[in-house]
Amino acid sequence: MATPKIHQYKITLRGIQPPIWRRFQVEDAMTFEDFHTAIQLVMGWEMSHLYAFNVNRELITDGESRREMGERGRDAEDTELKKMVKKEGTTFNYTYDFGDSWEHEIVLEKILPLDPDQLYPYCLDGARACPPEDCGGLPGYMDILETLKKPKSKAYKELMEWLEEDFDPEAFDPEAVNEEIALGLEEWDEEWGDDDDLALPPGFNFSPDMIQQMAQTLLSAMEEIPEMTINGPLWCGQCQQTTQMVKAKINPKEADMIYRGQCGRCGNPMILELTPTK
């Protein structure tokens, strides 16, 4: 089994100057579906629309888009980054919102060893704020930028009412992005699967106390504790591979969050203990 690696990417929104860009790191075992989620977080999009990747002239997209396209391309949920993006310098395209058609250039800058003490995805740097959702694509965003230069105009007042908050096109804070990644797990409940399936998104690495907080919230609302599937990647000492824990169950009476289950590959008993950081 290959040792997990980290992919460092630079993503740039096409067609805007000065450029809107981000530099961020993710695990190479991440699927393109979860890579899409990571991009949404680091860019500042809101996961409100469909998307597609074009990697080496091959389409990779979500299940709904594939159905609309007659099952063309690869399913993003089943396709890992490391299977499609293998060399530093590889450049590919990401389209978000087929109506506004936001096109992004993505470059794999570096392949690095995994740092076990680092939470991933991790945003390193970037510049300028992401455009507002549903603003009409590049033409609409250019109109917004022009309107922001005229704070005394009627159009400015109407724009501020539509934005519902202050919008600074030059603002970007990578630390704020990383805080959202670390604390925003509850906002991604659609990535978890069914209500009775606690699936941590592959490639997303959260602190134990964050996982404990989320798990305790879920447990407090359950009359009966169901068996769970925990998608790691977790390491199985028996089959010497990354795996998922199946038939996992937790005892809410224990002080620490201890899941007991079995390896999804070989059936070997597994224990996952999540102890809050001090």
Cα–Cα distance, 99 to 184 (Å, whole number): 27
Residues 151-162 have a mean pLDDT of 91
Lowest mean per-residue pLDDT among 26-30, 127-131, 138-142, 259-263: 259-263
Alpha-carbon dihedral angle through residues 137, 138, 140, 141, given to the nearest 10 degrees: 110
Contact 242, 233 (CB under 8 A): yes
Q: How confident is the model at residue 254 (pLDDT cuts 50, 70, 90)?
A: low
pLDDT of residue 243: 76
Of 102 and 277, more confident: 102
Of 196 and 152, more confident: 152
How many Cα atoms are found within 13 Å in the side-chain-facing hemisphere of 43?
30
Highest mean pLDDT among 1-10, 72-81, 161-170, 225-234: 72-81
pLDDT of residue 212: 52
Q: How confident is the model at residue 189 (pLDDT cuts 50, 70, 90)?
A: very low
Q: Is residue 263 predicted with pLDDT exceeding 70?
A: yes
pLDDT one-digit tens code per residue, 48-66: 899 999 999 999 998 777 7
Q: Is residue 112 predicted with pLDDT exceeding 60?
A: yes
Residues 196-217 have a mean pLDDT of 49
Contact 190, 206 (CB under 8 A): no
Lowest mean per-residue pLDDT among 31-35, 205-209, 266-270: 205-209
Closest CA to 20 of 12, 8, 28, 10: 12
Q: Is residue 30 predicted with pLDDT exceeding 60?
A: yes
Closest CA to 270 of 98, 241, 86: 241
pLDDT of residue 154: 93
Closest CA to 111 of 77, 94, 88, 130: 88
Cα–Cα distance, 256 to 54 (Å, whole number): 44
Contact 114, 122 (CB under 8 A): no
pLDDT of residue 221: 54
Q: Is residue 193 predicted with pLDDT exceeding 70?
A: no
Q: Is residue 97 predicted with pLDDT exceeding 50?
A: yes
The CATH fold assigned to 5-128+172-181 is 3.10.290
* Cα dist from 29 to 88, 157, 232, whole Å: 16, 46, 10
Domain boundaries, the chain: 5-128+172-181, 133-170, 189-274
Of 116 and 1, more confident: 116
Q: How confident is the model at residue 199 (pLDDT cuts 50, 70, 90)?
A: very low
Structure tokens at 129: 């704020």
pLDDT of residue 191: 47
Q: Is residue 211 predicted with pLDDT exceeding 60?
A: no
pLDDT of residue 121: 93
Mean pLDDT of the chain: 81
pLDDT of residue 235: 73
Cα–Cα distance, 267 to 113 (Å, whole number): 29
pLDDT of residue 277: 43
